[in-house]
Amino acid sequence: MSNNNFLGFNRKPSDTKVVVAMSGGVDSSVTAALLVEKGFEVVGITLQLYDYGKTIEKTGACCAGSDINDARLVASQLDIPHYVLDYESKFKEQVMDDFADEYLAGRTPIPCVKCNQTVKFTDLFKMSKDLNADALATGHYVQRVEGENGVELHRGDDHEKDQSYFLFATTKDQLDYLRFPLGNMNKLETRKIADKFDLKVKDKPDSQDICFVPNGKYSDIVRRLRPGSIEAGNITYIDGSILGKHNGIIDYTIGQRRGLGIGGVSGLDETRLYVVDINVEKNQVVVGPKEALNVDEIYLKDMNWISDASLSEENIFVKVRNTGNLIKAKLKLINNQVILLPEEHTEGISPGQAAVIYNIKNTNHVLGGGWIEETKSKFVANHKNSFSAA
């Protein structure tokens, strides 16, 4: 071990100024507590992202109004300076509006990644640098590793809690400045530390939902943000035949089976039908059998590479949803278009989600990722051909 301190700086913790992004949850509170205990000069910052009065009452999600107060309480308990920054208008423009537009475009967005990309790692970054801080620390369960070719992003030790999926868009510059003190801990250890410090938030439940979408009712938020832009349309089978009506494509996500509202259609068992496509031009929700969810090719856009590795054609692992497993896949680069070919059964992927790419030799190592633009399925292609032939 070198003389480097806990955060990797070659100087005393007391001479190292760290901004901690405090959401008011257990993880970021423990992050702040740990750094205070180690003797760092800690400044807590909490982002006010939307008007809590106007957003539906909720618990169990991050960044609610009461969470700002919790962050304040913890900061006062730790006796550190703490500030609340108003990023409401930025969050609205860069995260919530994008969220609504993505749903209207038939995709399933991940606002947490957008938030990390914009308000958290752009604006909060500038703030931290303006304050002459040496680093910005968060309570994410990921690890920052000093590799041979510079800094690397790795999965958190606790794979259940790992948040690398949400951080694939982090740039190398950002990663350089970031610190993740919880990266090598599991949730139990974090809770223990919260207990040890008797933090006011120690018994708070983990956040589950998207912070501004309480109870998972994302379509309510989209309707509020984009009134009048949601139209009823048809639910069709993959062969084009009309099975029923929908009240807006935003109510459906790919892979959805329940609540399709097309019961009693002759010849088809509704319980075996899945949403397999959302056709924005025709304002149609397309349903089909489970096999139609199979994905054989994944087209990505807006790639972010954290690693310098050459990636023309590689064997990689990929995650196409946060809670998903690592899937073995081939990565092809054709005319700057990144295409992933899963080598394991893969189904039900929505455009708008992220595909995060991991090193085949070290599955903890995040190489980068991109946004899923389109997927292709041999099953659907074959059926379309046979339908149009018929």
83: contact with another protein by CB under 8 A: yes
Distance between CA atoms of residues 143 and 366, nearest Å: 10
- Amino acid (one-letter) located at 94: Q
Work out the angle between the directed axes of helices 26-37 and 187-196 (0-180°, nearest 10). 60
Residue with tokens 């992004």: 21
* Catalytic entry in 62, 63, 112, 115: 115
> Judged by CB, which is closer to another protein: 129, or 224?
129
Q: Which stretch binds another protein (CB under 8 A): 82-90, 180-188, 339-347, 351-359?
A: 82-90
Choices 80-88, 163-171, 180-188, 341-349; region in contact with another protein by CB under 8 A: 80-88
Residues 255-284 that bind another protein (CB under 8 A): none
Q: Per this entry, what is the length of the chain?
A: 390
> Looking only at residues 126 through 145 of this chain, which bind another protein when binding is defined by CB under 8 A?
126-127, 129-132
Closer Cβ to another protein, 86 or 203, answer by number: 86
* CB 329 to another protein: min, Å: 36
Lay out the site mask for another protein across 15-44 (x = CB under 8 A, - = otherwise).
Answer: ----------------------------x-
Alpha carbons 224 and 51: distance in angstroms, whole number: 14
Helix (H) or strand (E) holding 30: helix 26-37
Question: Residue 19 or 230: which CB sits closer to another protein?
Answer: 19
83 or 305: CB nearest another protein: 83
261: tokens are 């509202």
Least separation in angstroms between residue 43's CB and another protein is: 7
Question: Shortest approach of another protein to residue 47 CB, angstroms?
Answer: 10
Q: What are phi and psi of 8, to 5 degrees?
A: 90, 10
Contact in structure between 18 and 7 (CB atoms under 8 Å)? yes
CB of 20 to another protein, least distance (A): 14
Question: For the residues of 197-212, what is the DSSP string, one character each?
Answer: TT-TTTTPPPP-S-TT
Instruction: Answer yes or no whether residue 81 interacts with another protein by CB under 8 A.
Output: yes
Shortest reach from residue 308's CB to another protein, in Å: 19
Beta carbon of residue 126, minimum distance to another protein (angstroms, whole number): 8
CA 199, distance to chain mean position in Å, is 27
Beta strands in 52-209 (DSSP E): 82-86, 135-137, 142-147, 150-155, 178-179
Give catalytic status of residue 211 as yes or no: yes
Instruction: Give the residue, chosen from 84, 145, 265, 311, that forms a contact with another protein under the rule CB under 8 A.
Output: 84
What are the φ and ψ backbone dihedral angles of 276, each rounded to 5 degrees?
-110, -15
Q: Is position 115 annotated as part of the catalytic site?
A: yes
Site string for another protein, 52-71 (x = CB under 8 A): ----------------x---
Neighbouring-strand partners of residue 143: 154
Q: Which of 73, 85, 151, 339 binds another protein (CB under 8 A)?
A: 85
Annotated active-site residue in 62, 63, 112, 211: 211
Task: Scan for tokens 């041999």, then name that residue.
Answer: 378
Could you give the maximum distance between any two Cα atoms of the chain, in Å? 76
**Residues involved in catalysis:** 115, 211
Residues that bind another protein (CB under 8 A): 43, 48, 68, 81, 83-86, 126-127, 129-132
